[in-house]
Amino acid sequence: MKDFTKHLIFLLVCHLFLIGCKTDEINIKGRDPGKPTVISDFFPKEGAVRTRFYIYGSNLGNDISKIRVSIGGRDLSVIGASGDKIYCIVPRQTTSGEVKVVITGDDGKTIAEHVFTEKFNYETRTTVGTLVGKVDVYGNSAVVNGTFEEAGFNDPTWMLFEPNTNSLFVVERSKLVRRVDINEKQVTTLITNGQASFKGLQTATMSFDNDTLFIVDDNGQNNKNFVAIAYTLRSENFRRVHPYLYDRTSYACAHHPIDRVMFFNTWWGGGVMKAFYDPALGGLNSKELFRVGGNNDIKTTIHFHPSGNYAYFLEGGCVYKSNYNWTAKELTAPIVFAGQPGTTGDIDAIGTSARFSSLYQGVFVKNPAYAGQADEYDFYLCDINNHSIRVVSPTGEVATYAGKGSPSSDGKKEGYIDGDLRKEARFNKPSGIAYDEGRKIMYISEQINRRIRTISVE
């Protein structure tokens, strides 16, 4: 009897040991191979980018490397699993569609596969993100070339998008011109102050075939002995600089999109100039067409509508509109289109009832809602001191498009926050803006955050 009892105790100990081993196996692998894997439901049924997405069932396991979840063929980021639940994040550019779950074993063979009959509805939304750039804990940064993880900016004030290479040209005012290669995720320096006798690089514009980059210089002179506009060519990888026009100090230029006539401004009296070929000089000369904002010494920037029918001038807190005379190939004296000269504020309204604070760069963006109308473009512009992106309709209606989100008790408008255009996103002195029409992405450069931000549909 004693031997039988000892034998029974031994069997019980062995049984408990085996159970413990099996339990440890389940805890490690998270799935009991002796039981079926059941995939039963998903939640939520609709959502936008960064939505938390769950798959429910039983015996699902906890090894996320063996779990694949997709919506409409787009893989989700699987964050965790706990046997009866799989936790995912909906990524950018997901589409509505069928939800599919595949779980594999250690041998790579499929253990369970399920496609839900009910589909997930992806809700697109436009949000602010960050492309490249960083600051230290004190808000400082420096000019650093390299990968997007390494690169830094000092004063990115003006931008152009170049579609052929999916790149940005970024002017750091009075210093240099950088290239941001979005495909390769690399930032390089193209041109520095001092090349071609540059005194203070200001802004730039592209020819409409995107083969020539024109750069404007603050040469500090009230004569025509120094280069005011230089150019660099795609065929030379935009690295060699050539003189284009000798003239007085300038801050901005713009090429007419059809006639290829160059217009630029001078600080002296705020004059808007037209470049023309002068046989007596055997090269380019210029003449003043009119002055913007009176006779003050001001820095006007020039932005042509894609049709070439008119241009906007940005100066201070005011948007001027100048029609293009196709016969004379000249811009006409402008009118105040939105805002008021010499007055600043932050008011969304129509025309001269609106208020801005320090405008610098803007870009035209086609609005599908205007299809078939005489003007199909809105004008988006950086309102620097209001830390926001504003939009002006063809009829002069001004609205705040992005920024000043995440309200707090300090009452500040500025900051660095990505997210929803108005509810969350914050900028800090945005001044440069460019648009990729093909991908529908807007790029914003900031003087204080020293970053290149994005506005895109996700």
**For range 115-139, the mean pLDDT:** 92
- pLDDT at residue number 342: 87
Give the Å distances, CA to CA, from 200 to 140, 177, 212.
22, 11, 20
Q: What domains lie within the chain, and their CATH numbers?
A: 38-122 (2.60.40.10), 126-457 (2.120.10.30)
pLDDT band at 295 (very low <50, low <70, confident <90, very high): low
15 contacts 53 by C-beta, under 8 angstroms = no
Question: 440-453: per-residue pLDDT in tens?
Answer: 999 999 999 999 99
If we measure between CA atoms, which residue out of 443, 441, 425 comes closest to residue 433? Answer: 443
pLDDT over threshold 70, residue 10: no
CB atoms within 10 A of CB 13: 10
Strands 46-47 and 110-122: parallel
pLDDT over threshold 90, residue 415: yes
Alpha-carbon 189 to chain mean position: 20
- pLDDT at residue number 137: 87
- pLDDT at residue number 237: 92
Question: 43-96: per-residue pLDDT in tens?
Answer: 999 988 878 999 999 999 999 999 999 999 999 999 999 999 999 999 877 889
**For range 193-209, the mean pLDDT:** 86
Q: Give the rounded percent of residues in the chain with a pLDDT score beyond 90.
A: 76
Question: 148-173: per-residue pLDDT in tens?
Answer: 999 999 999 999 999 999 999 999 99
Q: Cα torsion for 170, 173, 175, 179, to the nearest 10°?
A: 0
SS3 helix, strand, coil % of the chain, rounded to 5? 10, 50, 40
pLDDT over threshold 70, residue 371: yes
pLDDT over threshold 50, residue 384: yes
If we measure between CA atoms, which residue out of 96, 168, 159, 116 comes closest to residue 301? Answer: 159
Backbone dihedral region of 195: left (phi > 0), alpha (psi from -120 to 50 degrees) or beta? beta
Q: Tokens 């009176």 label which residue?
A: 294
pLDDT band at 196 (very low <50, low <70, confident <90, very high): low
**For range 341-351, the mean pLDDT:** 95
Backbone dihedral region of 194: left (phi > 0), alpha (psi from -120 to 50 degrees) or beta? left
- pLDDT at residue number 139: 87
SS3 402: strand
The verdict on pTM exceeding 0.85 is: no
If we measure between CA atoms, which residue out of 132, 134, 247, 232 comes closest to residue 191? Answer: 232
Question: 99-109: per-residue pLDDT in tens?
Answer: 999 999 989 99
Q: Give the rounded percent of residues in the chain with a pLDDT score beyond 70.
A: 93
- Helix ranges (DSSP H) in 302-343: none
394 contacts 404 by C-beta, under 8 angstroms = no
Average pLDDT, the chain: 90
